[in-house]
A = this chain, B = another copy of it.
Amino acid sequence: MVKALLFDVQGTATDFYSTVCEEAARISAGRHPDADWGEFVKRWRAGYFVALEAAQGSGWVSVRSVYRRALDTVLADCGITGFSDAEREELTLAWQRLRPWPDVVPGLTRLKGAYTLATLSNADVSAVVNISKRAGLPWDAIFAAEMAGVFKPDPAIYRLAARYLGLDPADIMMVASHKYDVRAAGRFGFATAFVARPLEFGPDGDADVAYSDEFDVNAADFLDLAAQLGC
């Protein structure tokens, strides 16, 4: 009997693709009419994963600094010139302003009556706090990789969340649109929920949305998750 649900934030609860695309276009202010902002965001996100992997084992680095450093490379690779340092800082802050998918607030609101709801995000604590406050996400607690000093899917972060909740792993369900995250939580003993986010990388993206019997729940969105969990 699951008592608490832990949610991934970047991609699962929030739509970084459209948020960051719009911020980039806004800051560009018409200076880059040929830029493919969708491709730019996909590359930035990929650069983040590469930098995160490289950072593993070498002490804590803030995710904000990871995005900021990856940005310079991605802008150059995309041939996008003319962004000042201040504009690059401002653009990096877009990751602290991610908008939720439309089902997220109503879904969480339904789930909140029956379950403890918390984040378990690789984003910085401050980013998750800022995203959640701006969007009105009704978490009972915010947990993030920064608190464990390692990133998902390191088992230490799932262990820390269980300790902070005062619950056994079997009492906790991990909810994410990324199978590596759900699988790692499952290996640690959590119940598992996969949520499909077909637009995570935009309309032409290649998000993995295939349901799988290996997960306890496969859901189309947070409202479907709530329905399947009896809320």
Known: A116-B133, A129-B116, A133-B116. A164 touches B146 (CB 8 A): yes
Q: Please give the distance in Å from A112's CB to the nearest CB on chain B.
A: 8
Q: A166, B126: Cβ atoms under 8 Å?
A: yes
Question: A84–B165 Cα gap in the complex (Å)?
Answer: 26
Question: A140–B118 Cα gap in the complex (Å)?
Answer: 11
Q: Please give the distance in Å from A142's CB to the nearest CB on chain B.
A: 5
Q: Which of B118, B130, B166 contacts A124 (CB 8 A)?
A: B166
Q: Which of B125, B133, B140, B146 contacts A129 (CB 8 A)?
A: B140
Question: A124–B166 Cα gap in the complex (Å)?
Answer: 9
Total copies of this chain within the assembly: 2
Q: Please give the distance in Å from A122's CB to the nearest CB on chain B.
A: 15
Which DSSP category, helix, strand, loop or mixed, fits chain A's interface?
A: helix
Tell me if A50 counts as interface (CB < 8 A to partner B). no
Chain B's closest residue to A164 (CB) is B125
Complex contacts, A127 vs chain B, CB 8 Å: 166
Complex contacts, A130 vs chain B, CB 8 Å: 166
* Chain B CB within 10 Å, residue with most, of A118, A140, A146: A140
Chain B's closest residue to A146 (CB) is B164
Q: A132, B140: Cβ atoms under 8 Å?
A: yes
Q: A141-B141, A142-B142, A147-B164 are in contact. List 18 more A-B contacts (CB 8 A).
A: A64-B166, A118-B129, A125-B141, A125-B163, A125-B165, A125-B166, A126-B164, A126-B165, A126-B166, A127-B166, A129-B141, A129-B165, A129-B166, A130-B166, A132-B140, A141-B142, A146-B164, A147-B147
